[in-house]
Copies of this chain bind each other. A is one copy, B any other.
Amino acid sequence: MSKIKVGIVGYGNLGKGVEMAIDQNDDMELAAIFTRRQPDQVQAKSKVDHMSNISKYRDDIDVMLLCGGSATDLPEQGPELAELFNTVDSFDTHAKIPEYFAKVEQAAKKGDNLALISTGWDPGVFSLSRVLAESILPEGNDYTFWGKGVSQGHSDAIRRVDGVKAGVQYTVPVDSALEKVRSGENPEFTTREKHLRVCYVVADEGADQDKIANEIKTMPNYFADYDTEVNFITEEELKANHSGIPHGGFVIRTGKTGDNTKQKIEFSLELGSNPEFTASVLVCYARAVYRLAKEGKKGAVTVFDIPYGLLSPKSPEELRRDYL
């Protein structure tokens, strides 16, 4: 059987994760990686070519995985590449999803392609959990908690503070809040009550640590609305204990059926690497996009449009026999 030929656009953490995930899936092969850098400066096991040559690969690639960022890369690349290829991306600017969907839909239809947007874990499998849980339990409440995990945006914010040499920020769900939710009492939380922010900071030599800690804790938008803990550590400690990119979280719905009977559905992730997990999600959705495109489906879709059977390399018969 011929393999699904996958291309990668953008070779950062996510693109590298996709390359590794393809290795775990026998029905797929990596055709090429596309970059805006000089291709010969990119170290990868696979073929690397410059973005400007991508349109030459229309016949060689079944699904293109877009591994750029949501701020500037995807708003441009998403529509452009959906006109040339079947695509999968992890666009995660929640507020702009409808607008992005419309643009990608138009481009994909123009190019007779199928484009799946906004997959990964949130948006992605967390979104699926929210829809499933609400569909089963229409009378109830759901809650999403993130962490424990590294927030890239908050880590960047720390590093912009004067006197900070390096640093990392963890978003941590508050245990007592999780327990309140699980008990089914439908609590309402302030921002502060749901998540803590825990920072590990390497200060410049001679810098005023109290001043740094205060500046972080009172930073509007990022930290002021949270209980924030600032820990000063050495550069060695940072490297040894905080160089991973873990993340995770919880989607919990509690609801009632019948005569006030309590029901609870909980989905959780504990990820050793956020980009590697996101990459693995993208790759299994590439399989679904490949299959649906072959059936003639065109335009833009999301995870809500994809049956789980299409994500698995197993046949429908195997799934019914061994997984139901």
Contact = CB atoms under 8 A, between A and B. Distances in A.
The number of times this chain is found in the oligomer is: 2
A236 B21 CA distance: 57
Which of A258, A267, A303, A313 has the most CB atoms of chain B within a 10 A radius of its CB? A258
A101 B257 CA distance: 29
Nearest to A101: B320
A12 to B, nearest CB: 14
19 contacts: A16-B258, A20-B257, A25-B138, A97-B324, A101-B320, A125-B265, A131-B308, A132-B308, A135-B284, A257-B277, A258-B273, A258-B276, A263-B269, A263-B273, A264-B271, A266-B267, A302-B309, A304-B323, A305-B307
A274 B148 CA distance: 32
Interface string A251-275: 0000001110111111111111100
B131 A311 contact: yes
A136 interface: yes
* Contact size range, A: 35 or more
A154 to B, nearest CB: 22
A284 to B, nearest CB: 4
Contacts of A25: 138
A309 B305 contact: yes
Q: Is the interface of A mostly helix, strand, loop or mixed?
A: helix
A97 to B, nearest CB: 5
A130 interface: yes
A319 interface: yes
A267 B267 contact: yes
Interface in A46-64: none
